[in-house]
Amino acid sequence: MKVLVINAGSSSIKYYLYRMPESEVLAHGLVEKIGEETSRLSHYCMGRTHTRKQRVGDVETGIELILDTLADPDVGAVERLSEVRAVGHRVVHGGELFTGSVIIDAAVIESIRKFADLAPLHNPHNLAGIRTTRRRLPQAVQVGCFDTAFHATIPGFAYLYALPYDLYEKHHIRRYGFHGISHRYVARRAAALMHKGKYDINAITCHLGNGCSLTAVKKGRSIDTSMGFTPLEGVPMGTRCGDLDPAILFYLADKGYGINQLKTICNEQSGLLGISRLSNDVRNLQELAAAGDSQAALAIDVFCYRVRKYIGAYAAVLATVDAIVFTGGIGENAPMLRERICADLIQIGVRLDPDLNAAAVAREAVISTNDSPITVFAIPTNEQVAIAKDTYKLAAAQMGDTPSEGCIERPAVEKAARR
């Protein structure tokens, strides 16, 4: 079965075409700079790269370009689009309704639209991709895979904020968590590498990139995560502030800062960029810090300290930790930061091997010593293959075929302990 995976954002669309259940990548690519005059498509198929520069005004136009390219007789991966039997869509926000991947129908579309209030920068663009592929690929089963779904098992005492309960009931203000597809993938992969069942592992998964989140995984299920009602909460990120005293915003408002200005500060001007005043890119900051730039060094110090604090907190929550997993652009490619983060965690059982850590760049590896009570991994995330597997399972079941693996996880949302 040929399965197309779509990750549609406001300024870019990533796509992968798989042959399932082998998880063989037939083609993949990226449409970037949507809405700009310099838009372009980069398409990779059969060892060849095809680049097409043309203005792509919106997500719908970008999806059309992707589908036309996939069926192009010169550079495509299929003779006709009808060969694509299923499409898996990454959807950022599923609220409390979706606790696993689902086949998309009119009711699901309406729910995704409703949750756009909670993810206005993401869900509308995810919907645009869904609507376009449904129109162009009417024969294909459409599947939604939600970033929030893995965190549906977080208990009420962990997802509730200490605000008036009416705000939860009326406006659904609670911790939702994000990067769930990535956290689930690396937690499952760590379990497999440790020869454990997927529900037999306690792990702290650290998705560290321009956006960052950590998750406490107990017996294979998320029980707490650092991002909250929005992806702004948690550790400092490339341009996002992470945790702060909310009274700071009230104070700045009294000083004349408007709501939109405060949103911009917290989301676009803070984090590594805000502290360093130079860059949100860890690679640049490492070079600058090595050359003696104190602000770059301070930004790295703050980042590593906050990540270490979350790891310590989640170790307390889990009581027993089998593994710590680093993933994401920073987690996979910055050995120095991994070393800095783990340096003072020996008291909880983390013993990093300097040589293994230094060698683990953009590849899967154990980076702890053989006698480390907690196994530390660097595992490149693979959200797209996780989406492809979910999509294949659901599509195969719908078509009456027998999927190669077990059923889709749909853990019950924890309703207890809210009050």
Beta bridge partners of 366: 377
Q: Is residue 191 part of a domain?
A: no
Q: Is residue 289 part of a domain?
A: yes
- Indicate yes or no: pTM above 0.85: yes
Same domain for 8 and 106, yes or no, is yes
pLDDT level of residue 280 (50, 70, 90 thresholds): very high
Residue 53 one-letter amino acid: K
**Cβ contact 336:351 at 8 Å:** no
Same domain for 395 and 317, yes or no, is no
**For 320-366, how does the pLDDT look when each residue is reduced to its tens digit (9 = 90+)?**
999 999 999 999 999 999 999 999 999 999 999 999 999 999 999 99
pLDDT level of residue 415 (50, 70, 90 thresholds): very low
Which domain CATH number covers 139?
Answer: 3.30.420.40
Same domain for 271 and 363, yes or no, is yes
Same domain for 244 and 350, yes or no, is yes
**For 137-172, how does the pLDDT look when each residue is reduced to its tens digit (9 = 90+)?**
999 999 999 999 999 999 999 999 999 999 999 999
Same domain for 350 and 333, yes or no, is yes
User: How much is the pLDDT for 24?
Assistant: 98
Cα separation of 150 and 319, whole Å? 21
Beta bridge partners of 376: 324
Same domain for 207 and 356, yes or no, is yes
Cα separation of 375 and 270, whole Å? 33
Same domain for 202 and 99, yes or no, is no
Domain span at 376: 197-381
**Preceding peptide of 411 cis, ω within 30°:** no
Q: Provide the domain count of the chain.
A: 2
Cα separation of 219 and 202, whole Å? 5
Cα separation of 211 and 278, whole Å? 18
**For 298-325, how does the pLDDT look when each residue is reduced to its tens digit (9 = 90+)?**
999 999 999 999 999 999 999 999 999 9
Residue 401 appears among annotated catalytic residues:
no
Same domain for 70 and 84, yes or no, is yes
Same domain for 228 and 374, yes or no, is yes
Q: Is residue 407 part of a domain?
A: no
pLDDT at 410 over 80: no
Same domain for 377 and 392, yes or no, is no
Q: List the catalytic residue out of 68, 72, 147, 301.
A: 147
